[in-house]
């Protein structure tokens, strides 16, 4: 059977102590199966790469596992040259790289070298037996929806976009660390939904429903559901409850009152929002492609990660 993939990218949680030997081992494993291997540039630099390009855009990782050096590329270069990307780390590592790869439609495989690992689901100790069939074209594929949007501000009577962001998990509007509650106006398209006073508000994808939204009391959404979950954070009024919305509309969050309000797109913050600013969130045209070992189950992931063991096998 011909190889399903010929060019592979590797990105790792390069801040993690001791990750370099793991990444080198995985690179050797991929190369041993006939793939041309590239490292993400920041990962390579953290492993001790030295820049060789005039403008610092390419680098070489020194001899890895007894084979030749691997070229190090920017995320954009990886997106254009690779057919698969191996992400080694935790969900935070995957979130950052998934946003970079979504517009290139490069499928991602997550190897969990972090803690929780909802979207980096292959245990590090079993990566060989999990990766080998995937590389040969035997895998489960799923697509995850994303959020995109921005912050709009009135200037001379005209609304201007001052910030744009893309999220796989969520968009969070929240108060400053030392400030009191914020007051937010929520609209969906042209329909007014509510004014609420709270510590903030989360607009989450199904992927992000097991992250901050879950901690704030929101429901879990299956990734196949075309919807968002909107979750108040510590609302002043107990009747302000989480709500699941179809993802066809645009959610608008206006800043009515509060100090040091910020908007976060997958942890990328725009701080010091002003009264009258509006955060607009909609479904992105891009999706993230995940590849899983054959037999992968979302419900099994929930059982393992949330420890739903009671009463089951």
Instruction: Examine the pLDDT at 245 and tell me if it is beyond 70.
Output: yes
Instruction: Examine the pLDDT at 311 and tell me if it is beyond 70.
Output: no
Which pLDDT tens digit goes with each residue over 185-230? Answer: 999 999 999 999 999 999 999 999 999 999 999 999 999 999 999 9
pLDDT value, residue 69: 82
pLDDT value, residue 52: 37
Name, in order, each residue with C-beta under 8 angstroms of 30's C-beta and a sequence gap of 6 or more: 8, 10, 37, 86, 131, 135
Confirm whether 191 is a catalytic residue: no
Distance CA 14, CA 20 (A): 8
Domains and CATH numbers, the chain: 7-139+293-306 (3.40.50.10330), 146-285 (2.60.200.30)
Which pLDDT tens digit goes with each residue over 253-297? Answer: 999 999 899 999 998 888 889 999 999 999 999 999 999 999 999
Residue 147 near residue 170 (C-beta atoms within 8 A) = yes
- Mean pLDDT, residues 117-143 taken together: 94
Round the average pLDDT of the chain to a whole number and report it.
Answer: 89
The residue from 42, 63, 91, 247 that is catalytic is 91
Which pLDDT tens digit goes with each residue over 17-26? Answer: 778 899 999 9
For the four alpha carbons of 201, 165, 80 and 41, in that order, the dihedral sign comes to negative
pTM confidence score: 0.89
């Amino acid at each position: 059977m011909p190889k399903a993939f010929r060019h592979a990218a590797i990105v790792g949680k390069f801040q993690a102590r001791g990750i370099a030997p793991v990444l080198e081992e995985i690179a050797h494993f991929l190369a041993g199966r006939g793939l041309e291997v590239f490292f993400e540039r920041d990962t390579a630099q953290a492993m001790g790469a030295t820049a060789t390009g005039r403008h610092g855009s390419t680098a070489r990782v020194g001899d890895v596992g007894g084979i030749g050096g691997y070229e190090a590329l920017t995320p954009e270069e990886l997106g254009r040259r690779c057919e698969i990307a191996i992400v080694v780390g935790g969900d935070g590592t995957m979130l950052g790289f998934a946003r970079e790869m979504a517009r290139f439609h490069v499928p991602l495989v997550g190897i969990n070298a972090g803690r929780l690992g909802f979207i980096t689901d292959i245990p590090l100790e079993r990566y060989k037996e999990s990766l080998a069939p995937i590389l040969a074209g035997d895998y489960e594929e799923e697509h995850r929806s994303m959020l995109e949007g921005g912050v709009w501000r009135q200037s001379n009577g005209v609304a201007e976009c001052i910030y744009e962001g893309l999220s796989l998990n969520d968009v969070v509007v929240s108060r400053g660390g030392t400030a009191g509650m914020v007051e937010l106006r929520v609209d969906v398209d042209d329909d007014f939904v509510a004014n609420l006073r709270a510590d903030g508000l989360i607009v989450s994808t199904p992927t992000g429903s097991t992250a901050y939204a879950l901690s704030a009391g929101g429901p879990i959404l299956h990734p196949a559901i075309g919807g968002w979950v909107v979750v108040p954070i510590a609302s002043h009024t107990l009747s302000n409850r989480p709500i699941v919305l179809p993802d066809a509309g645009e959610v608008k969050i206006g800043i009515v009152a509060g100090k040091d309000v910020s908007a976060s797109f997958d942890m990328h913050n725009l701080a010091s929002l002003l009264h009258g600013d509006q955060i607009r969130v909609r479904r992105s045209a891009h999706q993230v492609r995940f590849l899983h070992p054959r037999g992968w189950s979302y419900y099994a992931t929930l059982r393992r990660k949330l420890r739903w063991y009671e009463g089951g096998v």
